[in-house]
Amino acid sequence: MSKRITSQDVADLAGVSRTTVSFVLNNDQRFSIRPETAEKVRSAARQLGYYPNASARALASNQTKNIGLIISRGPQYVASDTFLPQIISGLLDALKQNSQGLLLEWVEPGQQLQTYLELTRAHHIDGLILMTPRLDDPGLKALEEADIPVVLMGTIPGSSLHSVDVDNLAAAETAVSHLIGLGHRRIACITNAATPYTSANQRLDGYKLALQKAGIAFDPQLVREADFDTQSGYKQMCSLLESDQDFSAVFVASDNVAVGAYSAIREAGLSIPEDISVVGFDDIPLASFICPTLTSVAVSGQEIAVESYNLLNRLMRGDLPESRSVILPTRLIPRQSSREIGRRAKKGSEKKSAQFVSCVNN
Partner DNA sequence: TAATAAAACTAACGCGCGTTAATAGTTAGC
Partner DNA sequence: GCTAACTATTAACGCGCGTTAGTTTTATTA
277, 335 Cβ separation under 8 angstroms? no
Indicate which single residue of 9, 12, 105, 167 sits in contact with a copy of itself (rule: CB under 8 A): 105
Tell me: does residue 37 bind DNA (CB under 7 A).
yes
Task: Count the site residues for DNA by CB under 7 A.
Answer: 29
CB of residue 161 to a copy of itself, shortest distance in Å? 17
Tell me: does residue 47 bind a copy of itself (CB under 8 A).
no
| H/E stretch holding 66 | strand 66-71
Q: Which does 360 bind (CB under 5 to 8 A by kind): a copy of itself, DNA, none?
A: a copy of itself
CA terminus-to-terminus distance, the chain: 55
78, 71 Cβ separation under 8 angstroms? yes
Query: CA torsion, points 318, 319, 324, 326, in degrees to nearest 10?
Result: -110
CB of residue 2 to a copy of itself, shortest distance in Å? 7
**Which SS3 state, helix, strand or coil, does residue 74 take?**
coil
Q: Which does 25 bind (CB under 5 to 8 A by kind): DNA, a copy of itself, none?
A: DNA
- Which residue type is seen at 333? I
Stretch of residues binding a copy of itself (CB under 8 A), selected from 10-18, 50-58, 205-213, 310-318 = 50-58
Tell me: does residue 34 bind DNA (CB under 7 A).
yes
> Would you give the DSSP letter of residue 294?
P
- Which residue type is seen at 73? R
Query: CA torsion, points 216, 222, 223, 224, in degrees to nearest 10?
Result: -160
Q: Which does 101 bind (CB under 5 to 8 A by kind): DNA, a copy of itself, none?
A: a copy of itself
53-92 residues in contact with a copy of itself (CB under 8 A) are 53-56, 58-59, 64, 66, 75-76, 78-82, 84-86, 88-90, 92
Pick the closest to residue 129 from 304, 300, 328 (CA basis). 304
Q: What values do phi and psi take at 159, rounded to 5?
A: -80, 145
C-alpha to C-alpha distance for 57 and 41, rounded to whole angstroms: 18
Q: Which does 149 bind (CB under 5 to 8 A by kind): a copy of itself, DNA, none?
A: none
72, 104 Cβ separation under 8 angstroms? no
What is the x/- site pattern for DNA, positions 43-82, by CB under 7 A?
A: -------x-xx--xx-xxxx--------------------
Task: Count the site residues for a copy of itself by CB under 8 A.
Answer: 68
Tell me: does residue 31 bind DNA (CB under 7 A).
yes
Pick the closest to residue 298 from 260, 326, 334 (CA basis). 334
Q: Give 269's contacts (C-beta < 8 A, 6+ positions apart).
A: none
Indicate which single residue of 20, 72, 199, 338 sits in contact with DNA (rule: CB under 7 A): 20
Tell me: does residue 2 bind DNA (CB under 7 A).
no
165, 153 Cβ separation under 8 angstroms? yes
5, 48 Cβ separation under 8 angstroms? yes
CB of residue 115 to DNA, shortest distance in Å? 18
Cβ nearer to DNA, comparing 40 with 235: 40
Give me the residues that bind DNA (CB under 7 A), please.
4, 6-8, 15-20, 22-23, 25-26, 28, 31-34, 37, 50, 52-53, 56-57, 59-62
Give me the residues that bind a copy of itself (CB under 8 A), please.
1-2, 4-5, 49, 51-56, 58-59, 64, 66, 75-76, 78-82, 84-86, 88-90, 92-93, 96, 101-106, 117-118, 121-124, 147, 229-231, 234, 259-260, 262-263, 266-267, 269, 285-286, 289-291, 301-302, 355-360
